[in-house]
Structure 1
Amino acid sequence: MPSEESRHEVSTRRDTLKYGGILAASLALAGCSDLAGQNETTAPSATESYSVELSPVGEVTFDEIPSNVMAYSPHYADMLVALGHDDALNSLGFPDGYGQTLSYFFEPFDGVDFDVNGLTELFSNGSFDKEVLYELDSDVHLMDPAWASTFDGWDKTDTDEIRDNVGPWFGNRYSRQHASPTEKWADGYRYYTIWELTEKVAAVFQEEDRFEALQAEYEDLYATIRANLPPENERPTVGLVTYYDDTFHPYRISGPGFGKAHTRPLGARDAFANSDRTYAENYEAGYDFEGMFEIDPDVILHNFAVTPFYDWEAVVDAIENDPLGQELTAIRNDRFYASGQSFQGPLQTLLQLEMTAKQVYPEQFGEWPRYETGDSYPEFDDDEQLFDHERVANIVSGEF
């Protein structure tokens, strides 16, 4: 690895972008809606209990740092890795699928990996089994009970039972897209950015300093990107979609929630801004090839394409071999990209923001290489990184 001195001796793209737009960066940070607030939790001594508040679970008290942790969704696994506590994880909804995705993104960080061996798979037969949670006997469940209560065979009495007999819930699902929880949970439900949510989890694991170091990297990256965006009238139209069953299912890139933390800051023109067929508006709706051709975004990003839940080569072949699909501007100009996912923790947010900046604005931030199934996150030279990958790896390893 290059030394700290050698990194400073090289004029990198990251440095050029950062210092070329320092004034705009300061203004951007002043209004950044994706940054967390101040940590409201007071760090206890080694023998004190401590409490952390989170909607919708309220205030949760811990006698010690959890060492046996259930998590359903991958962004909580991402948080545990980022905070140095992934060895406490005992389960995931889909360990293999989520694990492959996390491994793809963690590739740039030397010494950071994610091992799914030994993790219990929670999802089974369309739901998950309460008895499994008793068997895991977790200190904390990193899952939103409002969401857990919607699974088949579950309701609020079941989540209350697990809270009282096993361990507390600590999660907030609906911040991903600002969807509404069920009526029993709706009153007072609050939405968080991914950094606010990570800050809460960091307080649970008493890793506030590590969180602040990671957040500083994000602030720097966010400011760098915002300071170097082209004028609004020169920005491309971008369509975020998934493609299956011969249909394009669209998302709004500028929509609320941490699921768009990698697209919203880029300020691109949203091809589906006025659509009534987006994921948030109508989950089952979509566009056939004729409808997609009428919208014809300059850039198309395929959501979840780097995860194992889509066959990227099959998607590309289907679109390129369709008479209308092959005429789409993004296809003709080779600007159809495999994109990341909405269940992103702090590490994925950093990388997905770098990824998407390069995909949408290659002239400003550098080219993004083509993706093939099985690839890992690209390895960029220091002068092509939009944030310091080595420094983030060091933070995750506890060196900060």
Structure 2
Amino acid sequence: MSDHIRGGESTRREYLKYGGAVLTGGLLAGCTGSSDTGTQGETVTETTATPTESTATATESEETTTEDTSYTVSMSPVGEVEFESPPETVFTRLTHHADMAFALGHGDTVNAMHAPDYYHDLWNQFVERLPGVSLDWRGLYSSWEVSKEKLYELDSDVHLADPASVLALGSWSVDDIEEIEQNISPWFGNSFSARHQTPPDSWEGDYEYPGLWEQFEKVAQVFQATDRYEALASIRNDLLTTVEENLPPESERPTAVMVGSSDIEGDIWAYTLSNPGFLTAHTRPLGPRDAFDGSVESGTVVDLEALLEADPDVMLLLGGMLPTTDMGELRETLESNAVGGEITAVKNGRVHPQGARYQGPILNLFQLEMTAKQLYPELFGEWPTYENGPYPEIPEEEQLFDRQRVADIIDGDI
């Protein structure tokens, strides 16, 4: 299919304003298009009024200047998309996209996301450490099982979501996807890059897997905020350089597992640490050894006996940073369990919290720092004994990135 370009089409808003017809287009473009940067052009037209029968005197010529401020951004799987201006209302489904809008200083434009109250509470555990920055996702439309009717009601300027993942819900058709794009606003997002899943068979185009920060760069172009992206990317690059320059040889690295914290004595969800995709964007660069030695795929249910057999040096508990989670209580539960108490990580006090897998750039910075300290305290400074509450205070000399600098960038002080 050919790339889809919105600029030549009338949006529903344009239809209502000018009475124009909405043209059809091929949304489901598999390729990435040819242009990622904004293009601006200026057209100058001259109009000369002509005398009417009732007007004997000639009118003076008038010159009108109209500036074309449209720009295009291209990303798989949506192809090339043209925007008239940065979006002011933004629909999202997953938190990596919502965090991108937040990082670019547009957190208040988000009108929908998956489990908004849950992620509001979780994200604010980290945002607490960004001076002067606030985030409020409470009460937004919970958009996992999104409906067309609700999208018409929200009337968003962009759907910062992956249309292929919406198609995978099973309740949507290709025609539904195109209808929303044509009548409301474009889709622009990529979710299957989370762990390089295959899109549904009904998705007709190619599918590529941009990394978390590659995707963030594209979203920054949509918001015309590449200066914020570049500043945050520089911080992340410096952090990664610090990590890479200090990592020990692989044979000297700890073994680790990442598991869910909700049922630590029952059915425990286990997750991989180094597979491709942005779900491991904070663990993969740190290179811990997989305690399961590749025998457990992400999302596998295990029990404490399986964890004891793997016997990790470090246990990372997803959900451990939630306000409702008490890490002290979880550690006590493991220590008092006849099986759990024998796991090396439990015996050595190396059971640590994690935040979220569907991380955006801001959460990624915090999670890179916290996981580096949890895995390599002798190299990057110790992770404080954490039980609950906001992301702990780290002495300034032991911080792996500058909180004030990140806050300034979000606020537009580049």
TM more than 0.5: yes
Which residue of structure 2 lines up, in the alignment, with residue 324 of structure 1?
339
CA contact (8 A) 2:115 2:142 kept: yes
**After superposition, what is the alpha-carbon deviation per residue over 1:177-197, rounded to whole angstroms, capped at 9, x for unaligned?**
111111122641000111100
1:186-205 paired onto structure 2 within 5 Å = 187-205=205-223
> Partner amino acid for 2:278?
F
Within the candidate set 104, 110, 116, 1:95 is matched to: 116
Within the candidate set 383, 393, 399, 1:379 is matched to: 393
Unmatched tracts of structure 2, length 5 or more: 1-34, 42-66
Which residue of structure 1 lines up, in the alignment, with residue 404 of structure 2?
390
Partner of 2:210: helix, strand, or coil? Answer: coil
Larger displacement relative to structure 2 (354-363 or 309-318): 309-318
CA contact (8 A) 1:253 1:270 kept: yes
Within the candidate set 37, 40, 46, 1:41 is matched to: 37
How far off its partner does 1:315 sit? 4.4
Q: For 1:44 and 1:104, how far apart are their aligned partners in 2? A: 41
> Partner amino acid for 1:389?
R
Q: For 2:68 and 2:326, how far apart are their aligned partners in 1? A: 51
1:358-369 paired onto structure 2 within 5 Å = 358-369=373-384
CA contact (8 A) 1:97 1:309 kept: no
Which residue of structure 2 lines up, in the alignment, with residue 268 of structure 1?
288
Q: For 2:293 and 2:187, how far apart are their aligned partners in 1? A: 35
1:219-238 paired onto structure 2 within 5 Å = 219-238=237-256
Q: For 2:166 and 2:276, how far apart are their aligned partners in 1? A: 22
Larger displacement relative to structure 2 (184-193 or 217-226): 184-193
> Partner amino acid for 2:124?
S
Within the candidate set 236, 254, 258, 1:240 is matched to: 258
Q: For 1:311 and 1:58, how far apart are their aligned partners in 2? A: 44
Q: Residues 321 and 55 from structure 1, CA distance in 2 versus in 1: closer, same or farther, beyond 3 angstroms? A: same
Q: For 1:136 and 1:304, how far apart are their aligned partners in 2? A: 30
Larger displacement relative to structure 2 (343-352 or 316-325): 316-325
> Partner amino acid for 1:354?
E
Which residue of structure 1 lines up, in the alignment, with residue 276 of structure 2?
256
Which residue of structure 2 lines up, in the alignment, with residue 287 of structure 1?
302
Report whether the alignment pairs 1:154 with 2:176. Answer: no
1:112-127 paired onto structure 2 within 5 Å = 112-117=133-138, 119-123=140-144, 127=145
Which residue of structure 1 lines up, in the alignment, with residue 234 of structure 2?
216
**After superposition, what is the alpha-carbon deviation per residue over 1:7-57, rounded to whole angstroms, capped at 9, x for unaligned?**
xxxxxxxxxxxxxxxxxxxxxxxxxxxxxxxx9313547742111111111
Partner of 1:78: helix, strand, or coil? Answer: helix
Identity within the alignment, %:
46
Between Structure 1 and Structure 2, the one with more helix by share is: 1
Report whether the alignment pairs 1:278 with 2:292. Answer: no
Partner of 1:52: helix, strand, or coil? Answer: strand
> Partner amino acid for 1:335?
R
Q: For 1:210 and 1:182, how far apart are their aligned partners in 2? A: 34
Partner of 1:238: helix, strand, or coil? Answer: strand
Q: For 1:257 and 1:310, how far apart are their aligned partners in 2? A: 27
Within the candidate set 176, 189, 202, 1:184 is matched to: 202
How far off its partner does 1:91 sit? 1.6
Partner of 1:158: helix, strand, or coil? Answer: helix
TM-score (norm 2): 0.81
Q: Which structure's relative contact order is higher, taking Cα pairs within 8 Å and 6+ residues apart?
A: 1
Partner of 2:80: helix, strand, or coil? Answer: strand
Larger displacement relative to structure 2 (327-336 or 153-162): 153-162
Q: Residues 294 and 344 from structure 1, CA distance in 2 versus in 1: closer, same or farther, beyond 3 angstroms? A: same
Count of paired positions: 353
Q: For 1:186 and 1:252, how far apart are their aligned partners in 2? A: 30
How far off its partner does 1:292 sit? 1.4
TM-score (norm 1): 0.83
**After superposition, what is the alpha-carbon deviation per residue over 1:344-371, rounded to whole angstroms, capped at 9, x for unaligned?**
1111111100010000000111111233
Which residue of structure 1 lines up, in the alignment, with residue 162 of structure 2?
144
Partner of 2:121: helix, strand, or coil? Answer: helix
**After superposition, what is the alpha-carbon deviation per residue over 1:207-228, rounded to whole angstroms, capped at 9, x for unaligned?**
1111111101100000011101
Partner of 1:301: helix, strand, or coil? Answer: strand
Partner of 2:368: helix, strand, or coil? Answer: helix
> Partner amino acid for 2:36?
E
Q: For 1:151 and 1:225, how far apart are their aligned partners in 2? A: 39
Larger displacement relative to structure 2 (326-335 or 91-100): 91-100
Q: For 1:398 and 1:212, how far apart are their aligned partners in 2? A: 12
How far off its partner does 1:318 sit? 4.0
Report whether the alignment pairs 1:174 with 2:192. Answer: yes
Give 1 or 2 for the bigger CA radius of gyration.
2
Which residue of structure 2 lines up, in the alignment, with residue 33 of structure 1?
none
**After superposition, what is the alpha-carbon deviation per residue over 1:74-111, rounded to whole angstroms, capped at 9, x for unaligned?**
12221111111112111222110111111112121111
Within the candidate set 87, 90, 103, 1:69 is matched to: 90
Which residue of structure 2 lines up, in the alignment, with residue 297 of structure 1?
312
**After superposition, what is the alpha-carbon deviation per residue over 1:263-300, rounded to whole angstroms, capped at 9, x for unaligned?**
0011111213421x322xxx4x3322222111100001
Unmatched tracts of structure 1, length 5 or more: 1-38
The Cα RMSD (Å) is 2.0
Q: For 1:84 and 1:290, how far apart are their aligned partners in 2? A: 46
CA contact (8 A) 2:255 2:291 kept: yes
> Partner amino acid for 1:195?
W
Report whether the alignment pairs 1:335 with 2:364. Answer: no
